[in-house]
């Protein structure tokens, strides 16, 4: 079984675990997944006072990346052999089709959950992901951080991200997903799994930005799609779409009737 197939299977199991969060009893899970999952903490603030080191070794505050733009937070570890690289590569694939760009309309913050990792490992991972992303402006908008155990613990707890370390394999059991944050550092949305649809990412960014980015089309899509916290995806809101389609139909018919009446009024002898 190749790495991608194996990782997909593991991701599926972890996604099921993460969807349940604390709703599933730990005793019902495999031993490797005890305590692993994601508890949604929508509208909760992040501890923006936390200090980390970025890929250059510079000490930064988490709050340095907030204030003006929405932020995509990803939690991973840089020497991960399986899920983390696939999740980051999936994020890149979902971002490439978007007109919005990291560094311009939003920021990405990737934080290692392994307190032993170094800025050099963060820099290596950043270079690899920027090469795949292929946008120059992203160099200043995608940040790869490492921190001590206390800072990592406080951050992961604040977003409900639960994971376990296995000393025998020197690996972490964890779920995968994106945490979408407002410019003020509050949790707006969670997107789960390894497959992030570009539409879902864009709508989540538009919502997290408090509608300050995106186009009129994006605003209309927010009426036609609703966020399902159980799946971390946006699905069609059927009744809303029907109402919008009906209103547009009435508007078009009204314009047509109005044009016909004006045409009849101008006809000789009318």
CA dist list (Å): 221 to 199, 203, 232 = 9, 8, 17
Neighbours of 60 (CB within 10 A): 17
For residue 235, what pLDDT is reported?
Answer: 73
Predicted TM-score (pTM) of this structure: 0.76
CA dihedral 103, 106, 107, 110 (to 10 degrees): -120
CB 226 within 8 A of CB 234: yes
The whole-number average pLDDT for the span 124-146 is 97
The CATH H-level superfamily of 3-209 is Glutaredoxin (3.40.30.10)
- Of 4-18, 134-148, 206-220, the poorest mean pLDDT is in 4-18
CB 14 within 8 A of CB 36: yes
Q: How confident is the model at residue 14 (pLDDT cuts 50, 70, 90)?
A: very low
- Of 87-91, 94-98, 135-139, 256-260, the poorest mean pLDDT is in 256-260
Q: What is the per-residue pLDDT across 193-205, written as a single tens digit (0 to 9) for each?
A: 888 999 999 999 9
Query: Is residue 219 predicted with pLDDT exceeding 70?
Result: no
Average pLDDT value over all residues in the chain: 82
Per-domain boundaries in the chain: 3-209
Query: Is residue 65 predicted with pLDDT exceeding 80?
Result: yes
Higher pLDDT, 224 or 253: 224
For residue 270, what pLDDT is reported?
Answer: 52
For residue 179, what pLDDT is reported?
Answer: 96
Separation of alpha carbons 24 and 186, rounded Å: 26
The whole-number average pLDDT for the span 96-107 is 96
Q: Would you call 81 helix, strand, or coil by DSSP?
A: coil
CB 114 within 8 A of CB 79: yes
Q: Would you call 174 helix, strand, or coil by DSSP?
A: coil
- Nearest alpha-carbon partner for 225 in 206, 246, 210, 252: 206
Separation of alpha carbons 106 and 181, rounded Å: 10
């Amino acid at each position: 079984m190749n790495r991608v197939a194996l990782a997909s299977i593991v991701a599926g199991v972890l996604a099921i675990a993460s969807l349940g969060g604390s709703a599933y009893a730990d005793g019902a899970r495999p031993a490797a997944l005890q305590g692993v999952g994601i508890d949604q903490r929508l509208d909760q603030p992040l501890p923006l006072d936390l200090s980390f080191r970025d890929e250059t070794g510079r000490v930064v505050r988490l709050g340095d990346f907030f204030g003006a733009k929405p932020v995509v937070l990803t939690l991973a570890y840089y020497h991960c052999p399986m899920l983390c690289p696939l999740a980051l590569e999936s994020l890149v694939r979902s971002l490439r089709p978007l007109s919005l760009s990291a560094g311009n309309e939003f920021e990405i913050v990737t934080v290692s959950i392994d307190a032993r990792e170094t800025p050099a490992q963060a820099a290596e991972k950043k270079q690899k992901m920027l090469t795949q992303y292929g946008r120059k402006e992203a160099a200043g908008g995608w940040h790869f951080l490492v921190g001590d155990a206390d800072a990592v613990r406080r951050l992961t707890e604040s977003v409900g991200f639960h994971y376990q370390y296995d000393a025998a394999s020197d690996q972490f059991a964890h779920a995968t997903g994106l945490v979408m944050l407002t410019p003020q550092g509050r949790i707006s949305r969670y997107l789960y799994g390894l497959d992030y649809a570009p539409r879902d990412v864009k709508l989540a960014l538009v919502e997290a930005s408090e509608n300050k980015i995106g186009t009129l089309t994006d605003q209309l899509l927010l009426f036609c799609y609703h966020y399902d916290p159980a799946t971390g995806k946006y699905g069609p809101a059927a009744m809303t779409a029907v109402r919008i389609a009906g209103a547009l139909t009435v508007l078009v018919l009204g314009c047509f009737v109005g044009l016909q009446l004006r045409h009849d009024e101008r006809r000789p002898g009318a």
